[in-house]
Amino acid sequence: MNYRILSDIPGRIRIAFFLPRFPAVDRGGMESQFREIPGTAKVSFSPRTGTLLVCHDGKEATRKAILEKGTAAPTPRTCRARPMTELARKKKIVVRSGALLLSRPLIPPLIQPLVAIWGALPIFKKGVKALLKKRLNVDVLDSSAIGAAMATREFLTASLITFLLKLGEYLEEWTRGESRRLLSDMFHMGQEWAWVVREGEEVHLPLEEVAVGDTVVVRMGGLIPVDGVVLAGEALVNQSSLTGESLPVARREGLSVYAGTAVEEGWLRIRALQVGDKTRTALVVKMIGEAEEVKAETQSKGEVMADRIVPWSFILSGLVFIVTGSAFRSASVLLVDYSCAIKLSTPLAILSSIARLARQGVLTKGGKYLERLARADAFVLDKTGTLTGATPGVSEVVSFNGFAKKFVLRQAACVEEHFPHPVATAIVRQAASEGLLHPEKHLQVEYVLAHGIASRLRGKRIIVGSRHFVHEDEGVDISAAEPYVYSFAERGDSVLYVAVGGKLAGLIAIHDPLREDARELVRGLKRMGIAKIVMLTGDNEATARTIAAQLGMDEFYAQTLPDEKVEVLRRLQSEGYMVAMVGDGINDSPALTRADVGISMSHGADINREVCDILLIKGNLGDILSTRVISQETMALIESNFRAIIAVNSAALLLAVTGVLPPIFSATIHNMSTILFGLRSLQPLRRQG
């Protein structure tokens, strides 16, 4: 028997196979063997745990057939050839170089120089390529140092230096891979195959062969391979990798599902709408991958300075040779280099922090945005949907000029239902709760950005929106509404004006309660020493003042349009502030673009997710504070690494100049310090929260 029974209840049996870790077992092949048994209803195999779940008709004969198949079943392997990774290639090079070094005593003396030259050829090639491109960099330094050792017939020294340089490259690649692996594991699909219905039958296909429109079947324990809509079935789906939700969500016919999420219970038949690199998961992975390329200003300056040091290393090496006449001291100087450690540790610190934030549900689009957030001393916060809960409700309806309250609410709901805005949803929901039907009797609806909605009803123009839109733009007399507006503002409610045929028909008071974490956000920012905290809102002056006072804002701006929000940011920047903007509405997108760092919520408008620099997947305001802390820790780590790199390499350079340090030890100190600083830069990955 090559398995053990984990659970065996009527109609359901789970068994664990004793399988070697490598090579991997083909999930589809294993499932297909048990699906052939008459009486089986559902089969699910997990290659990661080696467990198989079979749901059957409960008959003893079926159960025995499953156990017999478990005893005799072959374990199909994937034999798909995989290209050698860069890490595996460098590991192979290090092993080969080390083997040659260890077997050197067995190599005839006449051949040893040839072996040393052959081993150093890849390093010489890099140096020559750099010179052909007119670059004086670390590759030229390394090849020059090995060449100096060979010129003095120290071929053992040359071989040792070559081995250490190759070992250093391997360890650098491994260190980079540690940070990238976490990002990949968080979002990447864990499977390369999918069950697809073709001509009425389920077939097992590679993911690259799944096309838009295909019907994909996913069972319990499986990962959903496409973005799509559920055609049949019901399941609990774990979406934590994309949405940050800790609990699985129910998915049934008509609801959307996304690639990379997992079916915990049940099964689904899905019509594929996005496949391959077009899925939401793939786009998230791509965005995080691109973040590595968006360098922080500190990183760029450090790399430029490190490259500028290289020519001085050659000059110092030449001076040492002229003064001492020692090729050993000259070569030792060439092997001490600042740039490798700086160029490895700085991007690793940034990428590690990006990975840490992604683990917490915060997507950062580049290192420079972490740096700007660490330096930000002014925060501008949009009110609706950011400081408030994005789930407002209608608190009161007032009518004027002979219009009935139900008429006002019904017609407002009729035009608002066309737009997926929290306030619009609140009005539609209130109309439904009062049993008000609102059949389509208006003409085409026009949405005026940051103002409101306009249409025509029985030949009369109907408008729903802000005071600015209704009174100043449309010229409607709203004097009768002033007492009510003041009363609403006193309790912090927003106001929507409804006008029909040029007359004020009514007011709709919208109560949008402050989020529980809004006050803590403002208090936390003040504790961090933020010089200015500003609130922007489209509400009237009185409502804005009430909300700003409740939160303890330094400043607020009421009835702001998109261009006015941008102007507020521009003015703050002209005063010397580094500005962070937090918003989620369509009318916030210009301001998010203008800010030094734009922060948006995942529940906000699609365009904001595109233009923002930092995206809060979970939508927690507290994540702004933790992201700020992590960004400051990252910059402190980079600066600490930079100082230590300068100190260590300067000490090694001094020892090389004085002849205390031979070339082999120069190479050892240089490479080992580079790796140590690289590993130190992975600290953010080892921290929780």
Whether residue 382 lies in the annotated active site: yes
Quick one: how far is CA 356 from the chain centroid? 10
CB-based contacts of 191: which residues, under 8 Å, 6+ apart?
27, 207, 222, 223, 225
What does the alpha-carbon distance between residue 7 and residue 161 come to, in Å, rounded to a whole number?
Answer: 58
User: Which residue type, as a one-letter code, is found at position 509?
Assistant: A
In the chain the first and final C-alpha atoms are separated, in Å, by 45
Cα separation, 310 vs 334, in Å, equals 9
DSSP assignment of 304-341, as one string?
Answer: HHHHHHHHHHHHHHHHHHHHH--HHHHHHHHT--SHHH
Measured distance CA(13)–CA(68) in Å, rounded: 13
Token pair in block for residue 502: 């040029």
DSSP per-residue letters across 8-39: EETTEEEEEE---SSSPB-HHHHHHHHHTSTT
Q: Pick the catalytic residue: 382, 493, 596, 623?
A: 382
Identify any residues that bridge with 440 across adjacent strands, giving them in sequence order: none
Q: How far apart are CA 242 and CA 621, in angstroms?
A: 18
Residue 255 · residue 229 · CB < 8 Å = yes
Q: What are the φ and ψ backbone dihedral angles of 136, each rounded to 5 degrees?
A: -105, 90
Distances (CA, A) of 175 to 161, 168, 293: 21, 10, 17
Contacts 24+ apart (CB under 8 A), 176-182: 176/344, 176/348, 176/351, 176/678, 177/87, 178/682, 178/685, 179/348, 179/351, 179/352, 179/355, 179/682, 179/685, 180/351, 182/355, 182/359, 182/685
Token digits of residue 409: 């609410």
Q: 627 to each of 345, 361, 622, 681, how far by Cα in Å? A: 20, 10, 9, 17
The type of residue at 120 is A
What are the strands, taking DSSP E only, across 239-316? 249-251, 256-257, 262-274
Q: Give the catalytic positions in this structure.
A: 382
